[in-house]
Amino acid sequence: MSSDVVSIPPAAGGLSGSLRVPGDKSIAHRAVMFNGFGQGTALVTGLPAGLDVNSTIVATRKLGAVIEAAPQQGVRALRIRGCAMKPTRPIDPIDCGNSGTTMRLLAGLLSGCGIAFELTGDASLRRRPMGRIAIPLREMGAVIVTAPKGRAPLRVRRSSLRGTQHLLPVASAQVKSALLLAGLSAHGRTCVTESAATRDHTELLLRAMGVDLHEQGGALCIDGPVVPQCVDVEVPGDPSSAAFFLVAAVLVAGSDIRIDGVCLNPTRIGFVHLLKRMGAKIEIETTGVCGGEAVGSLRVVTPRTGTKLCGIEISDADVPAAIDELPILAVAAAAASGRTVISGAAELRVKESDRIASVARLLAGFGVSVQEQPDGMTIHGAGGAFRGAADSDPAGDHRIVMAAAVAALRAPAAVRIRGAGAAAVSYPEFFDTLEGLRT
C-alpha cells in the first residue's frame, strides 16, 4: 500500500506469522555516522530503508565519507571509508530531514572538527528543541547560533573544544551522545552524568571502535582528542517497530506472531515489560550478540478467548527505556480494563508531533476517555472493542500513524488513516507487513 490515505478494516480473525522488522534506526544512524567519521573502512549491513536513516547517509557522505552500496553483502548494505575526524566543510546547509538523531549527533561530532557548518531540517524538525545540545556544547567552546527559542537551524563557526563535565537535567540518549561525540575532538576529559539511564548504543559502538569510554564516579568519560577505528556492524531489528506488531497480537484474539532478529538491548525493551505488567504473555529468547547488542526473538500467543489486560502506572523511571513505544502502549492501555497513568514523559511533547496531544486525539476518536497532563496522560481503558472512528488524522507523525493502524484492528468498521505516508520515516513496508499477518 502506498496511498497517503489507507483504510484499515477490523481484524476478522487472529494475526499469525513470523517476520523480521527493519534494522534498528538508533543503531543504524550511529553505525553510518560513526564509521563515516572513523579511521579505515567498514561494512554496515541490515540498514532500514526509512527516510530518517537516509538523511544520515546523505549528510555523512556530504561531509567527506566515502559511502558505497555493497549489494553482494545483502539487502541495504553499505561499504564506508571514514574521514578520520577530518570532515569536508559543506558549502550548503546540511539537511537532516525529519531526523532529530541526525541533527543532534552531527552537531556533537562536527562542533570540534575545525569547520563551519549549518544544520537544518523540515518544518517539524525546526520546531524541536536544540538548545539542550547548543548550551552544553557552548560550554565546551563551540560557537553556535540557533533560531529563536533554541531551535534549528544550527549555525556553528569554526571552533576548538575543551573537555567539560556535564550533568544532564533531562534524560536523553541523543543529548548524551552529542556530548560524548563532541568529546572525541575536545582537548581533555569530557564527562557526562545522566539523571536517568538511557539507551546505550553510542557507548557500545564507540567501545567496539576502540574508544576508551569509561565510567568515573557515575559519569561516562572520554579523553580527547581521539579517532574511532571503523568497525563492521550488522544492524539488528528495531524493537520500536516490533512493538506495533506485538501490541496488535495482544489485542487480537487467536493471534500468534513471532519476530526474529530483534535488538534485545535492555535499554530498548522496557515496553515489553510494561506490556507484561498489563497482563500480556510475551516470550523473549536471546539467540546471540551482534556488535555488542543482544539479539533474539519476541513472540506473542493470544488465546482465542483473548487476553485480559489491566491498567498500570507508568512512571518516570519506566519512561527512558520505552519513550518511543509509549504511543502504542497507550493503545494497549485503551483496550485494558481500568486506568493507566503515564507520567514523567514530558519529552513526548517535543517529538515529531506533540505525542501526548496526538495520542489523546487518536484514542478519543475510538471512544476512549483520556485526560492530558503536562508530562503524560490518564487513559480510562475501554476493556473491549473500540467504538467507530471513520477517520483518523495522526498529525503526520510516523509512530502515531502506526498506532492508529493497530487501534483500527479493534474498531467495529474500517478506519481511514490520513497522512499514512508518514510511516515511511521509519517503516515504509509497515502496512504491507500488517496486511500479511491477517489470517
Q: Is 122 helix (H, G, I), strand (E, B) or coil?
A: coil
From 324, 375, 391, 393, the catalytic residue: 324
Q: Is 90 exceeded by the pLDDT of residue 37?
A: yes
Task: Give yes or no: 238 in active site.
Answer: no
313-314, strands of its sheet edge to edge:
313-314, 337-342, 376-382, 369-373
Give Cα 294 distance to the centre of its chain.
17
Sorting pLDDT into bands at 50, 70 and 90, what band is 7?
Answer: very high
| Cα gap 74→46, rounded to integer Å | 8
Answer yes or no: are the C-beta atoms of 83 and 273 closer than 8 Å. Answer: no
Sorting pLDDT into bands at 50, 70 and 90, what band is 2?
Answer: very low
- Kind and range of the H or E run holding 335: helix 326-335
Q: What are the structural domains of the chain?
A: 5-22+236-436 (3.65.10.10), 25-224 (3.65.10.10)
Instruction: Using alpha carbons, select from 375, 373, 377 the residue that is nearest to residue 331.
Output: 377
Segment 39-57, tens digit of pLDDT: 999 999 999 988 999 999 9
Instruction: Using alpha carbons, select from 274, 277, 240, 275 the residue that is nearest to residue 259.
Output: 240
Segment 62-108, tens digit of pLDDT: 999 999 999 876 668 999 999 999 999 999 999 999 999 999 999 99
Q: Count CB atoms within 10 A of the CB of residue 120.
A: 18
- Encoded amino acid at 190, one letter: T
Q: What is the mean pLDDT of the chain?
A: 94
